[in-house]
Amino acid sequence: MIPEPSAIPEPIDHDAEIDRLFGTGSPLGQAVGGFRPRHAQTQMAKAIARAIGNRETLIAEAGTGTGKTFAYLVPALLWGGKVIVSTGTKNLQDQLFQRDIPSVRRALSAPVSVALLKGRANYLCHFHLERTQQNGRLTAREDVGYLREISRFMKTTSTGDKAELSLVPETASVWNLVTSTRDTCMGAECQYYQDCFVMKARKEAQQADVVVVNHHLFFADVALKDTGVAELLPAANTVIFDEAHQLPETATLFFGETVSTSQVLELCRDVLAEGLAHARDGADWPATVTVVEKAARDLRLTFPQDVVRLAVAQIAPSSPFFPALDVLKEKLDGMIAVLERQAERADTIEQCRVRALELAARLEAWNKPAGDVIIGQESVLWVEAFSSSLQLHRTPLSIAPIFNKQREGMPRSWIFTSATLAVKNDFTHYSAQMGLWDEPAQTWPSPFDYGNQGILYVPDKLPQPNSFEYTDAVIDAALPVIQAAGGRTFFLCTTLRAVNRVAERLREEFERNKLPFPLMVQGEAGRTELLDRFRAAGNGVLVGSQSFWEGIDVRGEALSLVIIDKLPFSPPDDPVLAARIEALEKKGMNGFMHHQLPAAIINLKQGAGRLIRDETDRGVLMICDPRLISKPYGRRIWQSLPPFKRTRELAVVCEFFAELARDRLAAAG
């Protein structure tokens, strides 16, 4: 039976209480360092409190510096009942759980219990750790040392959360061997079920008043009907999505279907190990898996290129892809027949059989005519090839009807908040993507004085972005500005190819001209480590692509210049984008104006938001793309950006940085 949302005691007067809590001399001011009353924050908190009290939906855009986290946490902790807070990344999730919620809870003396819930791949698994220690299937030399650290950690941890073990990088391959997936979890059959960290985290989440999750977990669990969020949702009174601009992409990922050759190869690895361990005499295990592995690799090799993204309709009927897919399905069926005969010899062989059946079913279901329908919704079939794997995707053209289905049922409050949800105060694009038609939406502007704190600089005489020499022309235009800024630069690119070219050229130029700016490049280290080095350097230049456009907070003098190489339009060869544009145009709409342009503006606002992070920050946003000036839609783009002073003159920018340097000297002296 589904539990009903718990009753929420109605506050007598939301507005008066929020005025008191966010006003001068408030408990928040006493408990939180640097807190001061902000009109926009107070008004936003009142709107959220009303939505919670009335069990309504609210789309809430809050400019950088509004203080949106406290604006939703205060009403949620006081009046939200059972609350699920979902945020964009695990880092933000940890920050909410470890810092923001404890601060607000302390200030309000709110007697609420709080739990943190992550996806199962974040928790150590007793069973898989023991098995890895016994059979030693390690793929990298450094994994031996990492495994030792993990074994020590297992003896002292109460949560099993791998984020607590900083000695082993999050990207280390050994984690795959000591954590479970939904496919490889033994469930209640596991001898360690009572001690399971995943089960413990889920139990705590069920009992807590406030549960902090991330978008990936929210949609993975809800889409897969996995235990976790799917069990929490029926009892929740309030669901808050922070960094809500990420939801359309994340939901699309999970409401679609993906099956890959690497999943097949992983299954083969486990079948071989379990077969040899528990039923060595039952079959020729190496021969059984080798034919399946070969079929999976052959399927990948039907596309000779390194990276491929193609809709099924774009694959030639004569392509070897379709016969190779049939061969893989046939060989997988052969392995399933062997597993059927040996399944009763061990639980782990039975588990491999179940996984193999599920993979075979997904391969069979994928290979249906495009235009098949998911929950009454059109989808696009497409393939994506990486250097060593091939993924087969089925992606819904719109998540709106699917997400609306998830929101049906008991009335509860849904809050969607981010700094970037609107295009020039128009929420149509976001509302249409999420199916939030006719729901109230409000914007609270940033308290920053952008006109005095920053400049938007669009350099003159740059070639068109599709020209061969474009990236080098951007670097030539950027170099004098980087020098004038004294380093202190984020160089944000729209492609990895541009990241590599920019890094190569800057390295040469810095060396040739003896410029003392430390260079950090995405991919040379993890994101957190690069940011720590950037902050510590004080005059660094960091070159990155999409993962540095958002969720990054560098305050003060370390960052004074953000360069964006070109407007972040999605690549036109993206099969999902092409299908969505086609669907819009069938309805008589303009695919570019109604989809591509608003999506690019929201993305650009995120990148631009890295520059000014508090009232004392000053700097230059340099957008190199000439289309911002030359195209009719350029005006709509810059009007959606913060209201910086605007210039096309390098001299104006250099004078701005010279003045900044004089102010720094005066402050130091």
pLDDT digits (tens, 9 = 90+) for 8-63: 545 447 899 999 999 888 888 777 777 788 999 999 999 999 999 999 999 999 99
How confident is the model over 66-71, as a mean pLDDT?
Answer: 94
Return the structure tokens found at 468. Answer: 């061969």
Say yes or no to pLDDT of 316 above 80: yes
Q: Strand, helix or coil at 154?
A: helix
Q: What pairing do the DSSP bridges indicate for beta strands 373-374 and 257-260?
A: unpaired
Measured CA angle at 408 (ends 402, 410), to 5 deg: 155
Closest CA to 629 of 465, 435, 417: 465
pLDDT 10s digits, 500-530 = 999 999 999 999 999 999 999 998 888 888 9
pLDDT of 137 above 80: no
- The tokens describing 251, both together, are 């939901």
% pLDDT > 70, the chain = 95
For residues 164 and 159, give the distance between their C-alpha atoms in angstroms, rounded to a whole number.
9
Instruction: Cite the DSSP H helix spans in 454-517.
Output: 470-485, 496-512
Common-topology check for domains 14-119+197-254+401-444 and 256-396: no
Q: Give the H/E segment covering residue 432.
A: helix 428-434
Q: How far apart are CA 72 and CA 181, in angstroms?
A: 33
Cβ atoms < 10 Å from Cβ of 229: 25
Query: Do residues 525 and 550 lie in contact, with contact meaning Cβ atoms separated by under 8 Å?
Result: no
Q: Which CATH class is domain 450-668?
A: alpha beta
Given a cut of 70, whether residue 5 has pLDDT beyond it is no
Asked whether the predicted pLDDT for residue 409 surpasses 90, the reply is no
Span 217-225, average pLDDT: 78
Query: Residue 618: what pLDDT?
Result: 94
Q: Give the pLDDT confidence score for residue 313 in this predicted structure.
A: 86
Higher local confidence (pLDDT), 425 or 573: 425
Pairing of strands 373-374, 238-241: unpaired
How does residue 4 score in pLDDT terms, banded at 50, 70 and 90?
low
Residue 130 clears pLDDT 50, i.e. is over it: yes
Q: Where are the domains of the chain?
A: 14-119+197-254+401-444, 124-182, 256-396, 450-668
Tell me the helix, strand and coil percentages in the chain, rounded to 5.
55, 15, 35
The residue-averaged pLDDT of 365-374 equals 58
- Residue 563: name the closest of 477, 448, 659, 655 by CA: 477
* Residue 195 CB partners (closer than 8 Å, separation 6+): 126
Whether 357 has a pLDDT exceeding 80, the answer reads yes
- The per-residue pLDDT for range 422-436, each reduced to its tens digit, is 998 899 999 999 999
Confidence of residue 604 (pLDDT cuts 50, 70, 90): very high
Helix axes 400-407, 247-255, angle to 10 degrees: 90
pLDDT band at 3 (very low <50, low <70, confident <90, very high): very low
For the residues 440-462, what does the mean pLDDT come to?
A: 95
Mean pLDDT of the chain: 90
Q: Which two tokens stand for residue 506?
A: 């800057």
Distance (Å, whole) CA 228 – CA 461 = 55
Tell me the pLDDT band of 89, cut-offs 50, 70 and 90: confident
Q: Which structure tokens are listed for 92?
A: 């933000």
Asked if 360 contacts 230 with a C-beta cutoff of 8 angstroms, the reply is no
| pLDDT score at 374 | 42
Its CATH class, for the domain covering 14-119+197-254+401-444, is alpha beta
Q: Which CATH number among 3.40.190, 3.30.70, 3.40.50, 1.20.120 corresponds to the domain 256-396?
A: 1.20.120
- The answer to whether the CB of 236 falls within 8 A of the CB of 111 is no
Q: For the ranges 112-116, 139-143, 263-267, which has the lowest average pLDDT? A: 139-143
Q: HSE of 406 in the Cβ direction (CA atoms, 13 Å)?
A: 26
pLDDT over threshold 70, residue 74: yes
